[in-house]
Amino acid sequence: METGHASPPSEKNSPFKGKTGLARIWNAFGYSLAGLSAAYRHESAFRQEAWLALILIPTALFMPVGGLGKALMVASVLLVLMVELLNSAVEAVVDRVSLEHHELAKRAKDIGSAAVMISLVDVAAVWTLVLFG
């Protein structure tokens, strides 16, 4: 009779999920740095947004606003970078699957682009509200 215990999903999904503890954290950190490096090397939009972040984040920290305002300003800029990374990942996977035109591929890429646009509008809104609101 079966006990209802299945093997953990990580064993079924990926042979690379075996690390635990500090080894897992160290590997994840390495993968994250590799992802940032790849995005910077291969994605011009990410490069532009990273340079913008290097200007806006210190600017936010030196603005004569309270801590919450500074936090919101910095978080809105970091959100753009996060959304751009996710958008770039979606685009890479779509392109890996097929480079031929397909309506679902176009939709996925357009939706990712829309998410980036909304995050950029968020930066403008947050900064305007904090500075002038």
Contact yes or no for 129/65 (Cβ under 8 A): no
Catalytic-residue membership of 11:
no
The burial of 1, by beta-carbon neighbours within 10 Å (0-12 exposed, 13-18 middle, 19 or more buried), is given as exposed
Active-site position among 84, 91, 100, 103: 84
Which residues are tagged catalytic? 84
